[in-house]
Amino acid sequence: MTAQAAVTTSTRRPVRRRISTGWTLLWLNVFLTFVFLYAPIIVMSIFSFNASRQMQVWMGFTLDWYVRMLHDERVRVAAENSLIIALVSTAVSTVIGTLTALALERTRFRVKSLYEGAMYLPIIVPEIVMAIALLVFFNLTFQGLDQLFGLRLNFGLGTITIAHIAFSFPFVAVVVRARLADFDRTLEQAAQDLGANDWQTFRYITLPLLMPGIIAGALLAFTLSIDDFVITFFNAGVGSTTLPLEIYGRVRRGITPDVNALSTVLLLASMLLVLSSLALQRRRSS
């Protein structure tokens, strides 16, 4: 059917496209897929305004769940934790990721292919494996520090942030590297011909031209951090609950409408983040 459709368009393009059964079915597939992709999140958002405690029957519009959420101490703490972790993790992984991209694209060293391969590992390895690996590592390190120096450390915001940086910076490196790969190097040569030294060339030519890639990488790192559940779940401690952990905890305890409100807010936040990054990239490229 797909091929038939291909044939109709390519051979009769000048003529107005005849609506064949093939195309009808193809567009039906597109339509149903979009329904499948959007229906669950739209239904969830709608029911976050439902006045009933019993969730799937519409009892009228209310903002109660949102008001309740605003006054919820646990939600406030979780939101603060999520934000602190995401901001620190984004800042560090953007810097490390950009340096890594420059290393991969602009320098030569002996173990480079090994280094490059290793960089992709956190992207490929299943989240759960990375999560328990970090859990085991931190546990062992803390035990060692306690025995050797009597230093008592524990799981918390620190361990979560370190873990987030570990899985975010390779993504930043990939994004920045793509930007570096189609980079007009003659601009740098021109700057050097005009007497700029290495640092000046980097500061005034390379960095500004790389900026869209770096910003896109930073936004990606922020989204990855805010959204992460699995790795956070295994490396969190007492009092370091993030928004996804809070939602998970509530869902496990039994579904109540306040989870809908919280989820809808998180959903809108990440959508806004992605759309602004898209708009930013579009404005930069045009």
Partner 1 sequence: MAIVEQIGPSERAVTWRERLGDAVRQREGLRALLLAGPGGAWLLFFFLLPTAIVFAYSFARRGPYGTVDWTFTLENYVRFFDWLYIRVFLVSVWLALLTTLICLLIGYPFAFVIARSPRRWRNALLVLVLIPFWTNFLVRTYAIMLLLRSDGLINNALQWLGLIDRPLTMLFTPFAVVLGLVYGYLPFMILPIYASIEKFDFTLVEAAQDLGANTWQVFWRVLLPLTLPGVLAGSILVFIPSVGAFVTPDLLGGGKVVMIANLINQQFLTVRHWPFGSAVSFVLMAIVLAATMLYFRIGETRRI
Alpha-carbon distances of 23 from 15, 35, 36, rounded to whole Å = 16, 18, 20
User: DSSP secondary structure string, 186-244?
Assistant: HHHHHHHHTT--HHHHIIIIIHHHHHHHHHHHHHHHHHHHHH--HHHHHH--TT---HH
Q: Which DSSP string corresponds to 46-63?
A: HHTTBS-SSTTS---B--
Phi and psi of 139, rounded to 5°?
-60, -45
* CA separation, residue 101 to residues 79, 115, 182, 234 (Å): 31, 12, 13, 29
Candidate residues 84, 87, 157, 162; the one interacting with partner 1 per rule CB under 8 A: 162
Can you tell me which of 78, 165, 175, 180 binds partner 1, judged by CB under 8 A?
A: 165
Residue 221 near partner 1 by CB under 8 A = no
DSSP state letter for 50: B
Among 19, 70, 118, 190, binds partner 1 (CB under 8 A): 118
The yes or no reply on residue 279 touching partner 1 (CB under 8 A) is: no
Binders of partner 1 in range 74-93 (CB under 8 A): none
Q: Which residue type, as a one-letter code, is found at position 143? A: Q
Least CB distance to partner 1 at residue 51 (A): 17
Cα–Cα distance measured from residue 247 to residue 263, given in angstroms and rounded to the nearest whole number: 7
30 binds partner 1 (CB under 8 A): yes
The residue type at 217: G
What mask, x for binding partner 1 by CB under 8 A, covers residues 42 to 61?
A: -xx--x------xxxx----
Q: Which is nearer to partner 1, 107 or 147 (CB)?
A: 107
Binding partner 1 (rule: CB under 8 A), the pick from 174, 180, 261, 266 is: 266
Number of residues that bind partner 1 (CB under 8 A): 89
Q: Tell whether residue 183 is a contact of partner 1 (CB under 8 A).
A: no
Q: What mask, x for binding partner 1 by CB under 8 A, covers residues 187 to 206?
A: --------------------
Rounded Cα distance, 277 and 22, in Å: 37
Q: Which helix (H) or strand (E) holds 100?
A: helix 73-106
Residue whose CB is less far from partner 1, 7 or 51 = 7
User: Which residues, numbered 121-140, are part of the site for partner 1 (CB under 8 A)?
Assistant: 121-122, 124-130, 132-137, 140
CB of 150 to partner 1, least distance (A): 20
Taking the least distance from each CB to partner 1, the nearer of 68 and 112 is 112
CB of 37 to partner 1, least distance (A): 5
